């Protein structure tokens, strides 16, 4: 009987123990549900990032401010400044990802804005995930980003995942490979769907004049 009373007293003591701030935060994170990705481009067009590529294709990416608000805001800011227009995909690894967003095309450059504090989240890096590239420091992301070809869960909670390709993943697959590619695929125009920009017109390649024997003859 005495042992039962002690056990009951111990249980009450545990129940009455105060919950630490860390325990409260962990409980809140475990119960938090991230918003699902909407693949309808017409919904919230201000959060649809459009990349018009030099391969003649337009890629639509759903930006997710619920996952990484500061990173999404950075993408929008640079996009409206025209920062990404003309920038190449400078590092494209088969079976892994395509990286761009560096105006120098070397992988060492970025914007004039300050680097961002990390916003790591539990969203997995699956096919079509769009995440922020960074240097060795966790708070070193700036303007460079990458699009994942195939799932790479080793990147989870190490890089800030901020969006997902929602239309024309085939155009992403067609980005030229290399580090850097011999003929890099370029972002001709980056825009937000809400801005209503049309894809840029790509001039057809100039056909070279056929060389014939007559062209080789000297004039009379």
- Hey, what domains does the chain have and what are their CATH numbers? 46-195 (2.40.100.10)
Per residue in 2-30, pLDDT (tens digit) is 444 444 444 433 334 455 655 555 555 55
Three-class DSSP category at 61: strand
Which residues are CB-neighbours of 56 under 8 A, at least 6 positions away?
Answer: 202
Predicted local confidence at residue 34, as pLDDT? 77
Q: Are 80 and 192 in contact (CB under 8 A)?
A: yes
Predicted local confidence at residue 66, as pLDDT? 96
What parts of the chain have a pLDDT lower than 50?
A: 2-17
Predicted local confidence at residue 17, as pLDDT? 46
Rounded CA gap, 49 and 166, in Å? Answer: 10
Which residues are CB-neighbours of 133 under 8 A, at least 6 positions away?
Answer: 99, 101, 141, 144, 145, 146, 159
Query: How many C-beta atoms lie closer than 10 Å to residue 192's C-beta?
Result: 18
Predicted local confidence at residue 32, as pLDDT? 57
Task: Select from 200, 155, 153, 187 the least CA-distant residue to 75.
Answer: 187
Predicted local confidence at residue 3, as pLDDT? 45
Predicted local confidence at residue 214, as pLDDT? 64
Predicted local confidence at residue 207, as pLDDT? 66
Rounded CA gap, 57 and 37, in Å? Answer: 22
Predicted local confidence at residue 6, as pLDDT? 40
Across 29-71, the runs of DSSP E, i.e. the strands, are: 48-53, 58-63
């Amino acid at each position: 009987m005495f042992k039962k009373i002690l056990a009951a007293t111990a249980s009450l003591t545990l129940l009455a123990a105060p919950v630490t701030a860390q325990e409260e935060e962990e409980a809140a994170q475990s119960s938090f549900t991230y918003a699902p990705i909407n693949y309808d481009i017409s919904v919230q067009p201000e959060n649809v990032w459009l990349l018009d590529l030099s391969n003649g294709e337009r890629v639509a990416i759903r930006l997710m401010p619920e996952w990484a608000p500061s990173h999404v805001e950075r993408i929008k800011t640079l996009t409206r400044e025209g920062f990404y227009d003309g920038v190449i995909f400078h590092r494209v690894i088969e079976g892994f990802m395509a990286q761009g967003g560096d105006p120098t095309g070397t992988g060492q450059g970025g914007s004039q804005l300050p680097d961002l504090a990390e916003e790591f989240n539990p969203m997995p890096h699956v096919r079509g995930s769009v995440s922020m590239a960074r240097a060795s420091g966790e708070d070193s992301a700036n303007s460079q980003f990458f699009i994942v070809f195939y799932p790479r869960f080793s990147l989870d909670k190490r890089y800030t995942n901020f969006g997902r390709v929602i239309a024309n993943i085939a155009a992403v697959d067609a980005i030229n490979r290399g580090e850097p590619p011999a003929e890099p695929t370029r972002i001709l125009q980056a825009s937000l769907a809400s801005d209503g920009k049309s894809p840029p017109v790509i001039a057809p390649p100039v056909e070279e004049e056929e060389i014939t024997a007559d062209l080789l003859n000297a004039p009379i």
